[in-house]
């Protein structure tokens, strides 16, 4: 352990001592993974290993508005009872001293292999460098020394210095890696590498779209469902349209068989979603986490900053495919949090967190108002879904829309400061933060024809603190 490691660990411990002062604030989430303090962003290193779900995440403990990035670490045996262990990856080497950026994990021969991007700012041109870092663990908690397996000098000359976020998977007898990239012409791209052993990597090719789609592609992911390989990515620089790409940065998926003429579908049309990552569960499910946040350039904010923290992860979502369409819905484990059920007609008083299920067999227009100003509405005449705010509970958020053929069902998970909405079995999703005055809010329902709405009060997940990385 070098001196910098010791200093950074001590600084982290000092920052996290403030957690106790924040645990009782009214907007601490009860269903979602959050930072102990400071700033949380991308989900990383998602995997099942040694009987536990592992969720690593980018983490800046020094400030709720961001800063030097570590990797934080949560584990759970069941996705309901979580333990926070601290920071296994600390920016303590010359090649990563300006932050541990996003990456992934894979299990080989009963050993966990973790890959991430080490960020280094430089004097001169290029102004920064990203290297691919590799560490291993036999137990999921204690990690080997860092090894650079792809240095910034090895990247193709056709790329700028913006190359990061390795996602690794097994493809037959080989392993493959994708990296988000930017070309020297400032267009988004993906670099593909292959390896026989996870230690030595060879460049395979650069994947670019037939038509420019953003100036940078972040957090790429390749995964297989049924017989198709899908590419997930987070492009930056996509012009906003009325019904698409409303956020400052996007997250989309596409079928790789369409390369290079990709057709992109947004993962989530809400205000707060970015940098998703998928992974394979031992039972064969494909599970996704996303960052329930957005860049500061979005034009809206989160009042949790005054309590010393900002952002969270989404609920874990199962991804399925039917007729070339990807569906997403929270994992079944979340249903174990259900307690008493209730029915809703025109109004109800909700105790957060809760879950609502709406059935709309007549495809009727409706408007659900949560609290004093969060609306989720469908107009049958123009087939438009709208998520919008009419008061300050959106903290600057305004409106997001989607064009749909109809709405047969809706499921909502409402936490103390977030809502995730899944329409038509999860073909369309909206995620947003919102900030009601208390955990008791009113639900008002307007519908052209009666909608059947069932609700459940939910127990919170548990979050404890372990003592590995101290």
Q: What does each of the 470 residues of the chain score in pLDDT, given as a tens digit?
A: 677 788 788 778 888 876 665 667 899 999 999 999 999 999 999 999 999 999 999 999 999 999 999 999 999 999 999 999 999 999 999 999 999 999 999 999 999 999 999 999 998 888 999 999 999 999 999 999 999 999 999 999 999 999 999 999 999 999 999 999 999 999 999 999 999 999 999 999 999 999 999 999 999 999 999 999 999 999 999 999 999 999 999 999 999 999 999 999 999 999 999 999 999 999 999 999 999 999 989 999 999 999 999 999 999 999 999 999 999 999 999 999 999 999 999 999 999 999 999 999 999 999 999 999 999 999 999 999 999 999 999 999 999 999 999 999 999 999 999 999 999 999 999 999 999 999 999 999 999 888 899 999 999 999 999 987 65
3-state secondary structure of 8: helix
Q: What is the pLDDT of residue 2?
A: 78
Burial 69-100 (b: 16+ CB within 10 A, else e): bbbbbbbbeebeebbbbbbbbbbbbebbbbbb
What is the pLDDT, as a whole number, of residue 20? 61
Report how far residue 92's alpha carbon sits from residue 3's, in angstroms, rounded to the nearest whole number. 9
**pLDDT score recorded for residue 13:** 80
Q: Strands across the sheet with 70-76, in order?
A: 309-310, 38-49, 52-60, 70-76, 81-89, 462-465
Cβ pair 457, 30 in contact under 8 A: no
Residue 14: Cβ within 10 Å count: 11
The fourth-level CATH superfamily of domain 335-462 is Exo-inulinase; domain 1 (2.60.120.560)
Nearest Cα residue to 54 out of 9, 108, 90, 104: 104
Q: In angstroms, rounded to a whole number, what is the distance separating the alpha carbons of residues 144 and 32?
A: 30
Please tell me the distance from the alpha carbon of residue 278 to that of residue 314, in angstroms, as a whole number.
Answer: 12
Q: Is 42 a catalytic residue?
A: yes
pLDDT value of position 21: 59
* 455 contacts 350 by C-beta, under 8 angstroms: yes
Helix ranges, 202-356 (H) = none
Could you tell me how many residues make up the chain? Answer: 470
- Hey, is 414 helix, strand or coil? strand
Report d(CA 38, CA 65) in Å as an integer.
7
- CATH for 3-331, options being 3.90.1150.10, 2.60.40.1180, 2.115.10.20, 1.10.10.10: 2.115.10.20
Instruction: Tell me how far apart the alpha carbons of residues 231 and 197 are, in angstroms, rounded to a whole number.
Output: 23
Give the bridge partners for 444, in sequence order.
347, 369
> What pLDDT is stored for residue 7 in this prediction?
79
CA-nearest of 204, 192, 198, 178 to 107 is 198
The radius of gyration of the chain's CA atoms, rounded to the nearest angstrom, is: 22
Q: CB of 233 within 8 A of CB of 215?
A: no
Report angle CA 397, 401, 403 to the nearest 5 degrees: 175
β-bridge pairing 462-465 and 81-89: parallel
Q: Give the long-range contacts of residues 199-203, CB within 8 A, separation 24 or more.
A: 199/134, 199/147, 199/149, 200/149, 201/132, 201/149, 201/150, 201/177, 203/154, 203/156
pTM: 0.96
Q: Where in the chain is the domain with CATH 2.60.120.560?
A: 335-462
pLDDT for res 19? 65
CATH 2.115.10.20 range(s) for the chain read 3-331
Q: Which run of H or of E encompasses 312?
A: strand 312-313
pLDDT for 469? 67
Which of 104, 173, 110 lies closest to 134 in space, CA to CA?
Answer: 104
Q: Note whether 170 and 194 are within 8 A (CB).
A: no
Q: Could you tell me the sign of the dihedral formed by the alpha carbons of 161, 206, 165, 422, in that order?
A: positive
- Closest to 357 (Cα-Cα) out of 452, 457, 459, 458: 452
Cα–Cα distance between 151 and 82 in angstroms, integer? 35
Q: Which residues contact 274 (CB under 8 A, 6 or more apart)?
A: 41, 42, 219, 234, 247, 249, 251, 290, 291, 293, 294, 295
Catalytic residue among 42, 96, 221, 268: 42
Which ranges in 138-240 belong to alpha helices (H)? none
- How far apart are the two ends of the chain, measured CA to CA in Å? 12
């Amino acid at each position: 352990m070098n001196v910098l490691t010791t200093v950074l660990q001590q600084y982290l411990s000092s920052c996290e001592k403030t957690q106790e002062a924040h645990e009782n604030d009214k907007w601490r989430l009860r269903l979602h993974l959050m930072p102990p303090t400071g700033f949380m962003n991308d989900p990383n290193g998602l995997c099942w290993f040694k009987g536990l779900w592992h969720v690593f995440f980018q983490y800046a403990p020094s400030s709720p508005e961001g800063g030097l990035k570590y990797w934080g670490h949560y584990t759970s045996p069941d996705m309901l009872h979580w333990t926070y262990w601290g920071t296994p990856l600390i920016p303590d080497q010359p090649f990563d001293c300006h932050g541990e950026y996003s990456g992934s994990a894979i299990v080989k021969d009963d050993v966990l292999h973790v890959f991430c991007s080490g960020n280094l700012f430089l004097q001169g041109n290029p102004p920064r460098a990203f290297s691919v870092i590799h560490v291993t663990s036999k137990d999921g908690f204690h990690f080997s020394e860092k090894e650079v397996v792809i240095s910034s000098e090895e990247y193709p000359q056709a790329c700028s210095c913006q190359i990061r976020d390795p996602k690794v998977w097994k493809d037959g007898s080989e392993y493959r890696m994708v990296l988000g990239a930017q070309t020297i012409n400032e267009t988004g791209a993906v670099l593909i590498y292959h390896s026989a052993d996870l230690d030595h990597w060879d460049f395979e090719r650069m994947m670019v779209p037939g038509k420019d789609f953003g100036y940078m592609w972040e957090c790429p992911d390749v995964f297989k469902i049924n017989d198709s390989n899908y590419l997930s990515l987070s492009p930056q620089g996509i012009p906003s349209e009325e019904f698409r790409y409303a956020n400052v940065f996007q997250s989309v998926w596409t079928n790789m068989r369409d390369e290079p003429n990709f057709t992109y579908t947004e993962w989530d049309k809400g205000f707060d979603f970015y940098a998703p990552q998928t992974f394979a569960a031992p039972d064969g499910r494909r599970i996704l986490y996303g960052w329930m946040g957005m860049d500061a350039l979005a034009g809206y904010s989160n009042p949790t900053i005054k309590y010393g923290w900002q952002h969270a992860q989404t609920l874990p979502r199962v991804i399925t495919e039917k007729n070339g369409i990807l569906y997403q819905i929270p994992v079944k484990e979340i249903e174990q949090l259900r307690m008493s059920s209730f029915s809703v007609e025109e109004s109800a008083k909700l105790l957060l967190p809760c879950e609502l299920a709406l059935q709309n067999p007549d495809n009727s227009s409706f408007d659900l108002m949560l609290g004093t100003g969060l609306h989720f509405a469908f107009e049958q005449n123009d087939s438009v879904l709208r998520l919008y705010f009419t008061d300050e509970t959106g903290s600057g958020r305004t409106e997001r829309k989607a064009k749909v053929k109809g709405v047969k069902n809706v499921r909502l998970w409402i936490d103390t400061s977030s809502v995730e909405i899944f329409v038509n079995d999860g073909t369309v999703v909206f995620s947003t933060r919102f900030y009601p005055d208390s955990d008791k809010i009113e639900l008002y329902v307007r519908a052209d024809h009666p909608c059947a709405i069932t609700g459940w009060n939910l127990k919170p997940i548990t979050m404890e603190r372990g003592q590995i990385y101290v």
